[in-house]
Chains A and B, each alone.
Chain A
Amino acid sequence: MEFLLAITIGVLYAASFYLLLRRGVVRVVLGVALLSQAVNLLIFTAGGLREGAVPFIAEGGKVLGAASADPLPQALILTAIVISFGVLAFTLAMVHRADQATGTDDVDDLKGTDAT
Chain B
Amino acid sequence: MNSIILATVSRLLTGLLLVFSVFLLLRGHNLPGGGFSGGLVAASAFVLASFASGFPAARRLLVVPPRVIMGFGLVVALVAGLAGNVAGYPFLTGLWDTTLFPVVGKLGTPLFFDVGVYFAVLGVTTLIVFSLGEDSEEED
A residues neighboring B (CB under 8 Å):
54, 56, 78, 82, 86, 89, 92-93, 96, 100
B36: contacting residue among A78, A92, A93, CB under 8 A: A78
> Do A56 and B36 have beta carbons less than 8 Å apart?
no
Classify chain B's interface size: 10 to 19
B residues neighboring A (CB under 8 Å):
30-32, 36, 40, 121, 124, 128, 131-132, 135-136, 139
> Do A56 and B131 have beta carbons less than 8 Å apart?
no
Known: A78-B36, A82-B36, A82-B121. A93 touches B31 (CB 8 A): no
> Do B30 and A93 have beta carbons less than 8 Å apart?
no
CB-defined contacts of A56 to chain B, threshold 8 Å: 30-31
A54, A78, A86, A89 — most chain B CB neighbours (10 Å): A89
CB-defined contacts of B135 to chain A, threshold 8 Å: 96
CB-defined contacts of B31 to chain A, threshold 8 Å: 56
